Amino acid sequence: MGMKFFVDTAVTSDIAELYDYGLVDGVTTNPTLVAKSGRDFKGVIGEICQIVEGPVSAEVAALDHDGMLAEAQVLAAIADNVVIKLPLTLDGLKTCRILRARGVKTNVTLCFSANQALLAAKAGASYISPFLGRLDDLKIDGMALIRDIRTIYDNYGFETEVLAASIRSPNHVKEAALAGADVATIPPGVIKSLAKHVLTDKGLAQFAKDWADTGQSIL
């Protein structure tokens, strides 16, 4: 099984474009991304779920267990491919355990330590989201965290998938893949930039010139 790409956005036009390219296995959203879209939260989640067959993470807004559980029930009813995104708190972990028992997939987010990731796996999280960019901002090696989580999960056979989040550059994607992340959730612009290289552009320009010089046509 290869590395999966989730697109990190709530802009449906960007999701549809990348999905048509075959570059999207799922989608992650968060309150900030939904706020930037300026759209109704439940409406945009429903539309995304119609575009993408894979997992679509929708985050609860409540901070207490009862509130999270109530919101999770509403969000999970939107579509079969909704994944409930929960914060890595004790209340979030409690909610995660209950949702797992009910067969609802979860994405435990805002993970910044291997111990937090261990707790999420024990709670039955479907995905754990360590945040790379925000650790880099603090001069902490985010990739070391991915490697540590990968080792711990492999040591015990945890089924929780490691979802590298807060990705800001193509190098983040490469390093996350080398570290063994199961998934990378990536902004649309960064996904597109993965295909670019100055030597590709230069070579293509030369091929186009040489072909034009032949005066031939394939069609």
Catalytic positions, written as ranges:
85
Strands (E), 66-124: 82-87, 106-111
Single-letter amino acid code for the residue at 152: I
Residue 30 structure tokens: 């968060």
Neighbours of 66 (CB within 10 A): 11
Distances (CA, A) of 213 to 179, 216, 217: 46, 8, 11
Residue 91 structure tokens: 């209340």
Cβ–Cβ < 8 Å for 117, 130: yes
Cβ–Cβ < 8 Å for 83, 126: yes
Helix (H, G, I), strand (E, B) or coil at 23: coil
Cβ–Cβ < 8 Å for 8, 28: yes
